[in-house]
Chains A and B, each alone.
Chain A
Amino acid sequence: MAMTIHCDIVSAEQEIFSGLVEVVIATGALGDLGIYYGHAPLLTSLIPGPVRLRVEGEEEEQVYYVSGGYLEVQPGVVSILADTALRAGDVDEAAALEAQKEAEQALANQSADFDYTRAATQLAEAAAQLRTLQQIRKKLGQ
């Protein structure tokens, strides 16, 4: 029997995977990682990409996509804290600006004008998603 480690993939909104696996393959900020039993303690950020799990007693690999997050390796336990949202500096900045603008709007009177900031944020989000898709496509070699 192969040596197994416990792997948990969680996001803020739900638990995605929990169970024993033989190997975890994830895309770290500095390159791909393959984690087997007995890996040294490690903390790394993940960039958008697939997380592949070889689950104990299963032929097929399980693949999950995470749009970034963090990976922690403890003796015998791998935790992946997945982001549910696409995170990038400019998108976060846009969201922060929007929240500030929302505050001003909430205090002033509501107007039914075309909401420029909202549209700009949506555009930034769409662009980030497009980037992720391109990365995933490149990674899968299609």
Chain B
Amino acid sequence: MAGGKEIRTQIGSIKSTQKITSAMEMVAASKMRKAQERMQLGKPYSQRIRQVIGHVANATPEYKHKFMQERDVKRVGFIIVSSDRGLCGGLNINLFKASIKAMKQWHDSNVEIDLCLVGAKAAAFFKSYGGNVIAAIRDLGETPDVADLIGGVKVMLDGFSEGKIDKLFLVGNEFINTMTQNPGVSQLLPLEAEQSEDMKHHWDYIYEPDARDLLDGLFARYIESQVYQAVVENGACEQAARMLAMKNATDNAGDLIDGLELIYNKARQASITQELSEIVSGASAIS
């Protein structure tokens, strides 16, 4: 019975891998639900803050904040939101492909690029790919905090207000449903004000203490909340992608086990047949 034992141990090891992948699939499924909830919870804030910024922009049209001014583009910033962990299919690779494609367009027109990386996978990728990384955020865990993002976002915002960066983009995965997650690039700065018709009549806020300071703070929080949303959405995408990848891995392990068991049984039967024919021919030789 040639290789019978080897096949058995191989089947055993694939079975234990299958147990791990199916456990990971179930863990990812339950984490995905929580991540989706978190995604929904953050939405009212970014909607409200956008409304307030819209109001302010419409109320004081004579003062245009620097975050709303278009200027010549010499250098652009990218905030790339990836996951901290792997084993989630092509999620991160697709994201990096999309970011490289967007970056190449700017690169071709001689625009320089600064990067802010969220997640360990992006840091690892751009370490080998190259690129001018000026900020990195890692180890956000399952429940990211806005506080963890402030630093990295501030580096980019400071760059924009000092005139080092002329446009700021956010690259992140968009959660469409459990099966599909698409990488997307969206412009954060300069911000386009929503022109609403019902706001046309002249009115203004009472500002305490000062319109400029208030706007500075509001813009920083708006951008932070956008990045936070992207991080939370990416978290949901990560779990969904992992769930799918682990489901496929479990299925593939099942197929492998079936195939190996067939080979094993064939080998077993062949060895039994061989033994029998040996006994029969031995017996006939004696009689």
Contact = CB atoms under 8 A, between A and B. Distances in A.
Interface residues of B, number: 49
A43 B218 CA distance: 11
A92 B52 CA distance: 23
B44 A40 contact: no
A30 B137 contact: no
Contacts of B55: 72, 74
Contacts of B217: 45, 70
A70 B221 contact: yes
A81 B217 CA distance: 11
Nearest to A40: B206
B46 A12 contact: yes
At the interface, is chain A mostly helix, strand, loop or mixed? mixed
A91 B51 CA distance: 28
B72 interface: no
Interface in B115-145: 116-117, 120, 123-124, 127, 133-138, 145
B52 A70 contact: yes
Interface residues of A, number: 40
B145 A85 contact: yes
Contact of A99 (B46, B49, B152): B152
Give the most central of A79, A92, A100: most B CB within 10 Å: A100
Given A30-B208, A45-B208, A99-B116, 15 more contacts: A12-B42, A12-B45, A43-B205, A43-B214, A44-B209, A44-B214, A45-B217, A81-B221, A92-B154, A102-B136, A103-B135, A106-B117, A106-B120, A106-B123, A106-B138
